[in-house]
């Protein structure tokens, strides 16, 4: 078991915090993963609390790693690498089966074997393998994973940390993270992340406060062996502010009651350093530059002391409690002390030590694994102002980060290369590539990091440099072959970034790239496949078919099975959904699956399964689509991939009206769906299910969870569209119809529209928008009627632009026509037609809407008796499928039309004073003394709409106020007047 070192003094003042951590460990041991965020100022005792936890907890294993001050400059996943290496050494002896089949972990732990070829999903697979390793290594007695100094965490470490917190589930793992709060400036990434994580039920936030005066006295007594004089205690407490590290430094000064006490934290920390002799001070200086851990060999190479004096100098530093020994490494007692020593060095001294560190590391003195070495060398070369060597080392560090799927750190190193490029005359020779190649790599790293806008900027800069800004004017035969290949790859990268950023310009770049790319290039099959996918996505089907066939031919000619499977998947979905050729599409998808299985590409295999399930569902083969989705779930479990196929299962169950089952599996999926984008999608899907079941408050909670899992200010447009669609649904349910329309209009008209050309999502927007217009017209929204008319026309135009092929599309088109018909007779005709199609398609949620449209249109045509006769049928249908939101709609419609929800039909009545059925309902409730808000809640309409109804009925009754209206209601036998406010 790996243990955190103890400082050797009495543990003071942290009993409650330690108890919380130990209770979390016990919960983890019992089978419920927990996480603790330990936050406090520097020196407040976070490491000491973790040390005591390590000694006292009953978990079977404890592993630990610390973040590095140079985190954002490289060394991705640094604390996890340190911790996992400890774990790998342990399980190799006791649980060797845990390490069988790992593919991506060798990127972090090279001793596990060779690294396989790069894959687009390697980062996700890496995270999953880390999760699985922790889950299995935690059996049977639990595992504690300690990550210290998260304020220095690199981007990839933060991503992995969030992933684990969200997905450990029932694993017997206790995750403990310490973070220095006084380092969290306003824009620090942990500043937003901490409160988001602390809201999760499995996470506890422990804020370490300074010690009180009594606790300071206890700590001082433990250090000195006797109690401080009251006046000295007052002075120590005042100067230290209760910070344990500062208390220790003050009390160790000697006689606390005489002489001047240090005024600053730096003076406190440097006091013992100043007392060292020259050689010991030189060794400490060298250690402060070397990094958070320094080997004896490294210190011997860089410290300016004779070899025979090194050991005695180190002993002096250890005796003075400045350095301590951890295994074969020397570390500072506290990170603050290292920082203070380094800050005191003269500029020239600091530069010489950094240069010496880089030289020694290149000669193998640092005991660092090969995949961690480049970033460390890059840091030292840059700090030493050795710009040529810094450029070379930064390039190597970028490649190491790419190999570890640490794309943010790769981008950081590439930006360093670009920064140094103008200052290094032989930059091309040093990295073996022109600057345009670096810009292409930076564009890819930015896009892979979730920032496609920066990817576009990098690729555009590279294109401008290669073409002099006249790319559009160049012909392919005017460009040398080498430059042509570079330009084509930059265009491909920019096209991909445009697509990820939701911009329509992707197609132009991809076409230009193919035009310029030399004919024999091995990149042509994949580039052609990318263009085919984009054209299908944009529904430019004539070109798409031609380009897809070309991509298939190129892939088969070159033996590129992966690209062939990718094209067949896109074509299969296109034929099965857009063309309505189900059997043709399924045959293509079968061939794609066979290729993926033969090539051992499980991620591609699952993509094929998703497309197959969607094709089946869009062709009314709902049960087969559900079976396919379940098969994908089981396959994902076999190969230890993300549980995202469960989203297909949940979607299918929802469509089939099995909303209770859908919610059951959605709650379970929260533990198995691992990636942020799919967790965000799951939250949005759970919101829709809650809405279907009539629970608006729960729907709001799930949508908020989705936004936390995938913050919309950093999400790609496709996920912005996803959540905006759900938001519009909930706004409509809350009666905020104009706001709901604005949300949908933003999807139809904004930049997201370019990314959201998928036919299914487009139909979703049309369906939701049509129902919104239908409700708004019947509620007689008083604001901007011309806007509602324009909205209707936009929806009709969009619906007409989509080819209606296949049974599901036919049902969607019919429901849209029913919703957008202004004539009740047309609404009735289309609703009955749509109802038949919805029943055939096996989608009760669609059928419920049409049942209500039919009832509503019948009443609006004046046949209230026939409309009343439909009520029991609709009620029975809605109760069968637990469609609570449509039952609320039925209640509102019946109240507006003067129908009864009871089984026996009501007697149609003449409306007095020309009041509409809805105005009569409002008047009855007004006569009972209800406020507008209460009337709205009773009738499931917005208070603003109630106000409009009240104004109208006051005018029709020719009365001045609510009290007079209540009296009039009594005269008309519509209610008994009550005191009104």
User: Is residue 409 a contact partner of residue 156, using CB atoms and an 8 Å limit?
Assistant: yes
Nearest to 237 by CA among 245, 247, 227, 229: 247
User: Is residue 476 a contact partner of residue 513, using CB atoms and an 8 Å limit?
Assistant: no
Nearest to 900 by CA among 933, 919, 875: 875
pLDDT above 50 (res 295): yes
Q: What is the DSSP letter of 329?
A: E
Tell me the average pLDDT across 332-340: 76
Buried b (16+ CB within 10 A) or exposed e, 287-319: bbbbbbbbbbebbbbbbebeeebbeebbebbee
Q: Label residue 502 by pLDDT band (50, 70, 90).
A: low
Q: Label residue 907 by pLDDT band (50, 70, 90).
A: very low
Q: What pLDDT sits at residue 443?
A: 94
pLDDT above 50 (res 908): no
How far is residue 236's CA from residue 240's CA, in Å, rounded to a whole number?
6
β-strands 203-207, 34-40: how paired? parallel
Report the percent of the chain where pLDDT is more than 70.
85
pLDDT above 50 (res 752): no
Which pTM was predicted?
0.66
β-strands 294-295, 203-207: how paired? unpaired
Q: Is the peptide bond before 820 cis (omega within 30 degrees of 0)?
A: no
Q: Which residue reads 């026939």 in tokens? A: 866
Please tell me which of 341-345, 591-595, 721-725 the model is most confident about, judged by mean pLDDT: 591-595
How far is residue 15's CA from residue 538's CA, in Å, rounded to a whole number?
62
User: Is residue 788 a contact partner of residue 741, using CB atoms and an 8 Å limit?
Assistant: yes
Tell me the average pLDDT across 504-532: 87
User: Is residue 430 a contact partner of residue 449, using CB atoms and an 8 Å limit?
Assistant: no
As beta bridge partners, residue 331 has 324
pLDDT above 50 (res 4): no
pLDDT in tens, 42-68: 788 888 899 999 999 999 999 998 887
Q: What pLDDT sits at residue 272?
A: 79
Residues near 165 by beta carbon (within 8 Å), at least 6 away in sequence: 35, 175, 197, 200, 202, 203
Q: What pLDDT sits at residue 256?
A: 54
Strand order in the sheet with 323-326: 294-295, 329-332, 323-326
pLDDT above 60 (res 677): yes
Nearest to 367 by CA among 416, 324, 326: 326
Q: Label residue 735 by pLDDT band (50, 70, 90).
A: confident
User: Is residue 2 a contact partner of residue 121, using CB atoms and an 8 Å limit?
Assistant: no
Dihedral (C-alpha) 907, 911, 912, 918: value to the nearest 10 degrees?
A: 110
pLDDT above 90 (res 591): yes
Q: Characterise 4 by phi-psi region: left (phi > 0), alpha (psi -120 to 50), beta (else).
A: beta
How far is residue 599's CA from residue 588's CA, in Å, rounded to a whole number?
17
More confident residue, 600 or 286: 286
Q: What pLDDT sits at residue 708?
A: 77
Q: Which residue reads 């989509």 in tokens? A: 802
β-strands 294-295, 329-332: how paired? antiparallel
Tell me the average pLDDT across 890-919: 68
Half-sphere exposure of 267 (CA within 13 A, CB side): 9
pLDDT above 70 (res 469): no
- Helical residues (DSSP H) of 639-714, grouped into ranges: 646-655, 659-669, 676-692, 696-709
Lowest mean pLDDT among 148-157, 303-312, 419-428, 445-454: 445-454
User: Is residue 147 a contact partner of residue 67, using CB atoms and an 8 Å limit?
Assistant: yes
Tell me the average pLDDT across 867-883: 87
As beta bridge partners, residue 37 has 177, 205
36's tokens: 């603790």
Q: What pLDDT sits at residue 3?
A: 33
How far is residue 95's CA from residue 550's CA, in Å, rounded to a whole number?
50
Q: What pLDDT sits at residue 851?
A: 92
As beta bridge partners, residue 332 has 323
pLDDT above 90 (res 628): yes
3-state secondary structure at position 178: strand
Report the percent of the chain where pLDDT is more than 90.
20
Q: Label residue 755 by pLDDT band (50, 70, 90).
A: very low
Q: What pLDDT sits at residue 67?
A: 83
Q: What pLDDT sits at residue 467?
A: 82
Q: What is the DSSP letter of 57?
A: -
Lowest mean pLDDT among 141-155, 502-516, 916-930: 916-930
Q: Label residue 585 by pLDDT band (50, 70, 90).
A: very high
pLDDT in tens, 344-392: 888 899 999 999 999 999 888 867 777 778 888 999 999 999 999 999 9
Q: How many residues does the chain have?
A: 981
More confident residue, 214 or 336: 214
User: Is residue 435 a contact partner of residue 451, using CB atoms and an 8 Å limit?
Assistant: no
Lowest mean pLDDT among 80-94, 157-171, 681-695, 739-753: 739-753
3-state secondary structure at position 103: coil
pLDDT above 60 (res 769): yes
Q: Label residue 8 by pLDDT band (50, 70, 90).
A: very low
3-state helix, strand, coil in the chain (%, to 5): 70, 5, 30
As beta bridge partners, residue 174 has 34, 144
pLDDT above 90 (res 249): no
Q: Considering the chain, what is the average pLDDT of its residues?
A: 82
- Helical residues (DSSP H) of 474-621, grouped into ranges: 481-500, 506-516, 524-537, 541-558, 561-573, 582-598, 602-618
How far is residue 423's CA from residue 391's CA, in Å, rounded to a whole number?
10
pLDDT above 60 (res 333): yes
User: Is residue 730 a contact partner of residue 696, using CB atoms and an 8 Å limit?
Assistant: yes
pLDDT above 50 (res 2): no
């Amino acid at each position: 078991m790996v243990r955190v070192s103890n400082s050797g003094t009495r543990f003071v003042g942290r009993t409650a915090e330690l108890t919380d951590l130990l209770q979390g460990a016990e919960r983890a041991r019992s089978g419920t993963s927990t996480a603790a965020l330990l936050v406090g100022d520097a020196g407040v005792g976070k490491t000491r609390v973790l040390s005591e936890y390590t000694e006292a907890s009953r978990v079977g294993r404890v592993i630990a790693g610390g973040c590095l001050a140079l985190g954002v400059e490289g060394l991705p996943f640094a604390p996890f690498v340190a911790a996992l290496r400890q774990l790998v050494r342990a399980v190799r002896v006791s649980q060797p089966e845990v390490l069988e089949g790992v593919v991506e972990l060798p990127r972090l732990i090279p001793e596990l074997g060779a690294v396989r070829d790069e894959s687009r999903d390697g980062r996700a697979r890496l995270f999953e393998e880390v999760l699985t390793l922790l889950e299995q290594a935690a059996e049977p007695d639990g595992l504690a994973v300690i990550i210290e100094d998260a304020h220095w965490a690199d981007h990839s470490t933060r991503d992995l940390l969030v992933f684990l917190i969200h997905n450990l589930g029932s694993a017997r793992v206790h995750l403990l993270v310490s973070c220095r709060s006084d380092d969290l400036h306003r824009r620090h990434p942990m500043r937003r992340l901490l409160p988001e994580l602390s809201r999760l039920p499995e996470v506890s936030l422990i804020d370490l406060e300074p010690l009180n005066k009594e606790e300071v006295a206890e700590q001082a007594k433990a250090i000195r062996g006797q109690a401080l004089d009251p006046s000295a205690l007052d002075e120590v407490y005042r100067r230290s502010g209760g910070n344990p590290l500062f208390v220790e430094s003050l009390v160790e000064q000697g006689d606390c009651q005489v002489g001047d006490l240090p005024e600053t934290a730096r003076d406190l920390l440097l006091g013992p350093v100043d007392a060292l002799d020259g050689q010991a001070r030189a060794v400490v200086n060298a250690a402060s530059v070397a990094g958070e851990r320094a080997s004896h060999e490294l210190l011997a190479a860089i410290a300016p002391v004779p070899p025979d004096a090194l050991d005695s100098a180190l002993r002096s530093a250890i005796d003075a409690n400045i350095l301590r020994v951890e295994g074969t490494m020397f570390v500072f007692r506290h990170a603050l002390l290292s920082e203070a020593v380094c800050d005191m060095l003269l500029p020239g001294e600091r530069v010489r030590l950094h240069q010496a560190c880089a030289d020694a590391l290149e000669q193998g003195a640092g005991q660092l694994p090969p995949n961690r070495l480049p970033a460390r060398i890059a840091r030292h070369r840059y700090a030493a102002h050795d710009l040529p060597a810094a450029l070379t080392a930064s390039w190597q560090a970028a490649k190491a980060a790419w190999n570890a799927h640490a794309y943010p750190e790769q981008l950081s190193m590439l930006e360093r290369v670009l920064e140094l490029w103008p200052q290094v005359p032989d930059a091309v020779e040093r990295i073996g590539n022109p600057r345009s190649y670096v810009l292409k790599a930076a564009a890819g790293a930015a896009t892979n990091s979730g920032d496609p806008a920066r990817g576009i900027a990098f690729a555009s800069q590279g294109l401008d440099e290669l073409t002099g800004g006249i790319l559009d004017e160049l012909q392919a035969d005017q460009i040398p072959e080498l430059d042509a290949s570079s330009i084509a790859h930059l265009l491909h990268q920019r096209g991909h970034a445009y697509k990820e950023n939701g911009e329509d310009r992707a197609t132009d770049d991809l076409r230009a790239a193919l035009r310029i790319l030399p004919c024999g290039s091995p990149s042509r099959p994949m580039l052609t496949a990318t263009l085919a996918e984009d054209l299908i996505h944009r529904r430019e089907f004539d070109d798409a078919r031609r380009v897809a066939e070309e991509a298939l031919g190129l892939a088969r000619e070159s033996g590129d099975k992966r690209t062939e499977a990718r094209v067949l998947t896109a074509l299969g979905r296109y034929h099965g959904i857009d063309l309505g050729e189900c059997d043709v599409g399924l045959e293509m998808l079968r061939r794609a699956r066979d290729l993926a299985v033969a090539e051992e590409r499980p991620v591609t295999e699952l993509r094929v399964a998703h497309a197959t399930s969607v094709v089946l569902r869009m062709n009314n083969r709902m049960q087969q689509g559900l079976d396919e989705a379940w098969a994908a779930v089981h396959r994902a479990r076999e190969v230890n991939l993300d549980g995202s196929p469960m989203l297909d299962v949940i979607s299918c169950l929802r469509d089939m009206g099995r909303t209770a089952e859908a919610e059951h599996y959605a709650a379970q999926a929260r533990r198995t769906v691992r990636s942020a984008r799919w967790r965000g999608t799951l939250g949005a899907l759970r919101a829709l299910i809650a809405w279907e079941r009539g629970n608006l408050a729960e729907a709001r909670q799930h949508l908020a969870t989705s936004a936390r899992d995938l913050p919309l200010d950093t999400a790609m447009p496709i996920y912005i569209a996803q959540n905006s669609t759900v938001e519009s649904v909930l706004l409509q349910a809350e009666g905020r119809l104009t706001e709901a329309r604005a949300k949908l209009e933003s999807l139809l008209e904004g930049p997201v529209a370019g990314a959201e050309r998928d036919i299914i999502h487009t139909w979703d927007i049309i369906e939701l928008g049509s129902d919104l217009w239908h409700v708004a017209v019947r509620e007689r929204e008083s604001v901007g009627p011309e806007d509602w008319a324009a909205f209707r026309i936009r929806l009709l135009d969009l619906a007409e632009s989509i080819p209606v092929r296949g049974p599901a599309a036919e049902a969607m088109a019919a429901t849209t026509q029913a919703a957008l018909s202004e004539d009740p007779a047309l609404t009735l005709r289309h609703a009955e037609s749509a109802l038949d199609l919805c029943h055939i398609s096996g989608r009760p949620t669609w059928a419920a809407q049409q049942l209500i449209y039919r009832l509503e249109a019948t009443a609006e045509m004046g046949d209230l008796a026939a409309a009343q006769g439909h009520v029991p049928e609709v009620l029975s249908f809605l109760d069968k499928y637990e469609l609570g939101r449509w039952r609320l709609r039925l209640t509102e419609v019946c109240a507006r039309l003067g129908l009864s929800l009871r089984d026996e039909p009501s007697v149609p009545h003449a409306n007095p004073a020309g009041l509409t059925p809805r105005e009569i309902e409002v008047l009855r409730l007004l006569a009972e003394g209800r406020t507008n808000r209460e009337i709205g809640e009773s009738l499931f309409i917005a208070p603003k709409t109630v106000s409009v109804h009240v104004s109208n009925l006051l005018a029709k009754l020719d009365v001045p106020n609510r009290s007079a209206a209540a009296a009039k209601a009594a005269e008309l036998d519509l209610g008994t007047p009550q005191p009104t406010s």
